[in-house]
């Protein structure tokens, strides 16, 4: 499955909520979300109207590493 284009930071945070991520703090235009599933994991999501594709892919790879799966599996779980 392709990584969605034109995805905002808010859209990504809402999608990550499926995996148990919740907003824990915000500093300027960056929001930190945390999950307590299988331990504790933090991800910083820029609060931009459109996330750059490289930034989006890096965040999804980080989440995939934490859940010990591929980025494609994360994309299908979040946006499939």
Nearest partner of 22 among 12, 35, 31, 10, judged by Cα: 35
CA–CA separation, 69 and 25 (whole Å): 27
Contact 43, 23 (CB under 8 A): no
- Displacement of CA 21 from its chain's centroid (Å): 8
Q: Which domains does the chain have, with CATH numbers?
A: 9-79 (3.30.920.30)
The tokens for 7 are: 């995805």
The tokens for 71 are: 């980025």
Looking at residue 31, its pLDDT comes to 98
pLDDT tens track, the chain, 80 positions: 788 999 999 999 999 999 999 999 999 999 999 999 989 999 999 999 999 999 999 999 999 999 999 999 999 999 98
The residue whose two tokens read 């599933």 is 37
pTM for the full model? 0.94
């Amino acid at each position: 499955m392709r990584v969605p284009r034109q995805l905002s930071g808010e859209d990504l945070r809402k999608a990550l909520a499926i995996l148990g991520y919740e907003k824990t703090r915000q500093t300027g235009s960056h929001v930190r979300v945390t999950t307590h599933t299988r331990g504790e994991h933090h991800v910083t999501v820029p609060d931009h109207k459109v996330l750059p594709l490289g930034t989006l892919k890096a965040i999804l790879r980080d989440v995939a590493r934490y859940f010990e799966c591929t980025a494609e599996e994360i994309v299908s779980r979040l946006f499939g």
